Structure 1
């Protein structure tokens, strides 16, 4: 792996506790060590972004305005992030942005002006890993209780927590 110019984080389950279809900024809780991990990335001059599936919009469970409020709270607590890429589609919509499709990662790379080969995606489920690979980026899995054992086994790199994932990237 060559130089890393950006790290793209999955939002729910990776940066913040997963509250399904969260529309309330007061329910945004950073995962353990998330703030410290993101600060360490920025201190090394590496750009940061968020790539997040938000099918609650397509399902009518959350409004775009509520999602924006939640994302602004994430930025207040952990940001600001250099790019936000959000897929508002449902799994059946067949879009090119919803992970495991690579669209959000490709868009983030374009916005940041960095090639995918200089990007690491950190996420908590296999769709994050597949999207990264499809975009030509690197990936690190940070398992949570919802991550299946077989996903961990197929991950290119698995780290026990977000801090360890960031350590792995920064040590490269």
Structure 2
């Protein structure tokens, strides 16, 4: 057994909550995927640390501000708490794609920050997302990518090359079922 903290990195929109091509711009628009909240609780109980890495270019685009994003994350924390679940760390990148820094996925900045916070081994860390930028971020950070078909996942899956070897799951709950099964 390694001495690294077991970490799972999750994208937010499309993995934990419903996504929208028009952006999630307010707490009212942030709608949890109930099975994802329960899945995070199961990961917490199994001893995993949970980090979120989420691009929030709606800030850079002027659709909402940092305070509104904080209210969305408060709503997420409250929804998780109702299932006995919690997030250990949250990284977000407000960059507009035209002014992207090293933190905006697919760049590895947010994932690298989470790995450092928990002294986690990237080779033992799963990064679960629904978009190509999530999968590329995982690979760029040395993590193991997993695709969920919620959110933009089906569109993303259609673009994957057949030899990508990226595991695909119906949703976060199916990923957690699989992960806890193989860990036995």
The residue number in structure 1 matching 2:14 is 13
- Cα 1:152–1:33 shift into 2, 3 Å: farther
> Shift of residue 144 of structure 1?
3.3
8 Å contact 1:141–1:152 — kept in the other structure? no
Cα distance in 2, alignment partners of residues 128 and 23 from structure 1: 20
Equivalent residue for 2:35, pick from 33, 36, 39: 33
Q: Which segments of 5 or more consecutive residues in structure 1 lack a partner in the other structure?
A: none
- Post-superposition Cα deviations, 1:36-85, rounded to whole Å, max 9, x if no partner, equal 11111011011111110000111111101001110111111125311101
Task: Note if contact 1:47-1:82 (Cα within 8 Å) is conserved in structure 2.
Answer: yes
How far apart are residue 145 of structure 1 and its match? 6.0
**Mapped partners of 2:118, 2:151: distance in 1:** 32
Residue of structure 1 in register with 2:64 after alignment: 62
Q: Does 1:150 find its partner at 2:159?
A: yes
Q: How many residues align?
A: 171
The yes-or-no answer on 1:52 pairing with 2:54 is yes
1:109 aligned partner: 115
Local SS of the residue matching 2:63: coil
TM-score, length basis structure 2: 0.85
| Structure 2 gaps, min length 5 | none
Q: Name which of structure 1's ranges 9-18 and 117-126 shifts more when overlaid on structure 2.
A: 117-126
* Bigger shift: residues 139-148 or 159-168: 139-148
Tell me, yes or no, if the aligned pair for 1:9 and 1:48 is still in contact at 8 Å. Answer: yes
For 2:71 and 2:104, the matched residues in 1 are separated by 21
RMSD (Å) for aligned C-alpha atoms: 2.0
Q: CA deviation at 1:27?
A: 2.6
SS in 2 for 1:84: strand
Counterpart for residue 43 of structure 1? 45
Q: Kindly tell me: are residues 32 and 105 of structure 1, through their superposed partners in 2, closer, same or farther at Cα, counting changes over 3 Å? A: same
**Cα 1:63/1:113, change in 2 over 3 Å:** same
